[in-house]
Structure 1
Amino acid sequence: MKTKLIRFGVVTMLALLAGNAFAQDAVQSAVSGDFLGGVGTGLSDWLHKAGEDELSAIGMFMAADWVVKAVMISLAFASVLTWVIFFAKTTDLLWQRNRLKRDFRRLDAHATLTGVQAMFANGKGIVGRMVHAALRERERSSAGGLDKAGIKERVSSELSRIEAGASRSMMSGTGILANIGSTAPFVGLFGTVWGIMNSFISISESNTTNLAVVAPGIAEALLATAIGLVAAIPAVIFYNLIARGLGGYKVMLADAAALVERTLSRDLDFAAQASRSSTTAKPAAQMADLAEAAE
């Protein structure tokens, strides 16, 4: 997903750098109705009027330098990407938390790994993977007659790796939010500086300091900073919200791993107790048989 998004952004930037004339012709074609096919007549009229107004957002964008345009579109793309990542990660996090809670309660209610083996037969979900890992290690170690302390240690090691993998998988994509939140204001500032430089060049070429002449260029430059802030502020807020949710999710993962370890330890103790009971019962039965034979 990250590679596709990066490729899309690179293609977008190259398309912008191809030339300003193509962009002007495309917009004029859209405004005239050739591109819209007569469906968006009202939208075409609105775009036409907005393009004529130099102080409107669209008018300032159309009149901006190609570098400033590239900055604005890249920041707009970053803003859309921020919202997409936020909704995707929030939905995924809520789904995983609810599933983890449900599986945790099912395992806690049965209090034995053997009893829930059929429930987690497909091995899906974090708790299901933990249960399968514990059962697999118990079978391998029991077949060799290994000590239960070693079984617990090996299961604990494997559960910690499952827990770390689940946390790492859930954190994927949050780094993009951090990068957007930290770099978008500076990218917008670059567009602003470039636009103001062009405004000062226009002042020197026109030999006038009339504010009405230089105001549109300065407004175009400041629009880049505004778009940068629009992209950066939600990215920072969303990153903090997701990070807080991930903190609670990691605690739930640790609780699930601890529950699996406790359940495994209980099963091993029950098995050891049953083995001792059967061993003790054999001599008692033999003594009783000998007593009956002596009588």
Structure 2
Amino acid sequence: MFFQTRLPRRLSLGLAAVLLAAAAPAAAQDLAASGVAAPAMDMSFLSLFLQAHIVVKLVMIGLILASIWVWAIIIDKTVLFGRNRREMDRFEQVFWSGQSLEDLYRSLAGRSNHGMAAIFVAAMREWKRTYEGGARSFAGLNQRLDKVMNVTIAREMDRLESKLLVLATVGSAGPFIGLFGTVWGIMSSFQSIAASKNTSLAVVAPGIAEALFATAMGLIAAIPATIFYNKFVSQAGRQAQRLEGFADEFSAILSRQIDEQE
């Protein structure tokens, strides 16, 4: 009688356990499906900027303005160096074509000249002042011509190298300014963790994303500034060599004429 009553109960308990084990995954899936979904975080660039701390916003705005300024200088200098190189090429063709120096000076005297043309006009102007002034001695004319041409070269190089310091400054300081925004964003993340006492990704992610975005802005401003600064410095050095070479050749031509006059 005892075995007759206990056996069915054991079978029923085992069957119930099997049914519960089989139903558990389905119940878990139903519970997950019926639960409230976590709101998705908006991680777009605009959202990161709008949600950032005021200090991080100021850093981002400063880096954006610096990047715009850098690209404006890059475009301006690219056009300037290209135009200056073409003007020197054209002047060299005319100068060495055999045209008389007087005719070339008269055609250029009334213009706004740059590069080799500016050196030529400055030297010829000093030459004509000496001869038209009725100077008795031409002993110091060579020195005066050299000084005039050197001053003109210095002015041309100042014109070519102007605003390159901005590129150097942004290229060197941009990453550190972005790093400052990064540090501030991470500090904001830790403050959010301390205030909410929650280390979930939803609490930490916005601050970290803002920090990384500030770092990216610093690199976006610094990388082109550094690349084009090195490029423009190299181009300015090559054009300076061409100007100095022309000044030496023209000084030799004028020196021979001075010797002939004496």
Task: Give the TM-score normalised by structure 2.
Answer: 0.78
Larger Rg: 2
Matches within 5 A, 1:176-191: 176-191=166-181
| Distance change (3 Å), C-alpha of 1:254 and 1:268 | same
- Count of paired positions: 221
Counterpart for residue 84 of structure 1: 72
Equivalent position amino acid for 2:209 in 1: A
- Cα deviation 1:221-257 (Å, max 9, x = unaligned): 1110111011111110010111111111111111221
Deviations 1:64-98 (CA, angstroms, capped at 9, x unpaired): 11111111111111111111110100101110111
For residues 126 and 152 of structure 2, what CA distance do their matches in structure 1 show?
14
* Selected match of 1:227 from 190, 213, 217: 217
- Residue 130 (str. 1) matches residue 119 (str. 2): yes
How far does residue 111 in structure 1 lie from its aligned partner after superposition? 6.5
The answer on 1:168 being equivalent to 2:158 is yes
- Describe the shift of the 1:55–1:209 C-alpha distance in structure 2 as closer, same or farther (beyond 3 A): same
CA distance in 1, matches of 2:211, 2:67: 18
Name the residue aligned to 1:71.
59
Q: 1:55 — aligned with what?
A: 43
Q: What's 1:281 paired with?
A: none
How many percent identity over aligned positions?
39
Cα pair distance change 1:114/1:263, threshold 3 Å: farther
Structure 1 segments, 4+ long, off by >6 Å, are none
Counterpart CA distance in 1 for 2:122 and 2:48 is 60
SS in 2 for 1:185: helix
Q: Which residue in the other structure is 1:260 paired with?
A: 250
Segments of 5+ residues of structure 2 without an aligned counterpart are: 1-39
1:214 matched residue in structure 2: 204
Distance in 1, matches of 2:157 and 2:186, equals 45
Tell me how far 1:187 sits from its aligned partner.
0.7
Aligned to 1:103: 91
Q: SS state of the match for residue 108, structure 2?
A: coil
Structure 1: which 5+ runs fail to align?
1-51, 273-295
Q: Deviations over 1:249-292 (max 9, x none)?
A: 111111221232123223334434xxxxxxxxxxxxxxxxxxxx
**How far, CA to CA, are the matches of 2:140 and 2:97 in structure 1?**
26
CA RMSD of aligned residues (A): 1.9
Shift of 1:130: 2.5
Higher RCO by CA contacts (8 Å cutoff, separation 6 or greater): 2
